Chain A
């Protein structure tokens, strides 16, 4: 029983931490959208200016929105699924870009350092991948239904409000 409570408390703290991180990182990018646009461009995901601009314009505020939902505890599982759906392909893109840089610079993979557009400036790739892996794990944890305490509306559709 006590173990369950500690586990749930940890999940709530993880939810707040994840939410705060997304709000912070999102705002950092949203304050300098042109810089973020240049960083998104390096991934060569799209070649249409409209699509490129849309990604760079929308993603930071989308992160702020999702982070706020997690902080408030609204639609937690849906938000966690949305974030996982964003984090997984983004992590793959970062990994792919790092592989390209590894080849170009002829240096070991973990020595590759670049600004991936994550909001934290230049980072070593192995550290970044580890961070993203943790973020994905936390999202999956919340997706499983943990972290229900202090939620304004944990499930959007059932209409149930869970408060501690």
Chain B
């Protein structure tokens, strides 16, 4: 009995060791694999993402929730030294002629699949988890711009913050950088133009 248990434990240890080796190799080979030594959350170390603050049941209403979420978002960005733009400001910037001549740049911080499904027309793609793909080109464009608006899905999504910090670390001055906290979800919900496929594909869809 004792030796049987020992055999199972040894077998489990062998499975664990080989499994870890295989898993590390698979991560290394996978084009989507993570770089183990990189800090993917430069702004907030590895702390828990902001969770909703406690609210009394009687006080819960959509309005208070929205206000609370917006306040948390502003606080989060302030903590990271980033500036926020609301939807109305993002919309004004989008319609500004500066978008066409590169003075105003939109950066989409979601992954490639989401970007292809739909993005703010003319936005550059910069997945902060795989910045090696596009960072060089996006940095050049952002350094030449006067205003850079970074967005992701919105809500709890912090990928826009991470992408903005990457750009700041890459030499884009902080005063040029803005995070559109409402993100793509809010943009779509506002029936604003959405481009699908590659940047400047010209394929414009009506938002939901």
Contacts and interface: CB of A to CB of B under 8 A. Distances in A.
B5 to A, nearest CB: 10
Interface stretch (B42-50, B78-86, B136-144, B173-181): B42-50
Interface in B42-76: 45-49, 51-57, 60
Interface in B5-38: 7-16, 18-20, 22-24, 26-27, 30, 32-38
A101 B15 contact: no
A85 to B, nearest CB: 7
A33 B33 contact: yes
A50 B26 contact: no
The list of the 10 closest CB pairs from A to B, nearest first, reads A78-B11, A61-B23, A34-B129, A81-B12, A49-B39, A57-B27, A61-B26, A78-B12, A58-B23, A57-B34
A47 interface: yes
28 contacts: A30-B26, A32-B32, A33-B27, A33-B32, A33-B33, A33-B34, A33-B129, A34-B40, A34-B129, A34-B130, A38-B158, A47-B46, A49-B41, A50-B36, A54-B36, A58-B23, A61-B22, A61-B26, A75-B14, A78-B13, A81-B9, A81-B12, A82-B15, A85-B12, A104-B51, A105-B54, A106-B54, A156-B15
Nearest to A35: B111
B8 A49 contact: no
B14 A52 contact: no
A53 interface: yes
Contacts, number: 136
Contacts of B46: 41, 44, 46-49, 52
Contacts of A65: 18-19, 22-23
B13 to A, nearest CB: 8
Nearest to B13: A78
A133 to B, nearest CB: 21
B11 A156 contact: yes
A66 interface: yes
A46 B127 CA distance: 24
Interface of B: 7-16, 18-20, 22-24, 26-27, 30, 32-41, 45-49, 51-57, 60, 111, 127, 129-130, 158
Given A30-B26, A42-B49, A79-B11, 14 more contacts: A31-B32, A32-B111, A33-B30, A34-B129, A37-B129, A38-B49, A49-B40, A57-B36, A62-B22, A65-B18, A75-B14, A78-B12, A79-B15, A104-B51
Contacts of A105: 52, 54-55
Given A52-B46, A57-B33, A34 B111 contact: yes
A136 to B, nearest CB: 15
A25 interface: no
Contacts of B158: 38
Given A58-B24, A62-B23, A65-B19, A50 B14 contact: no
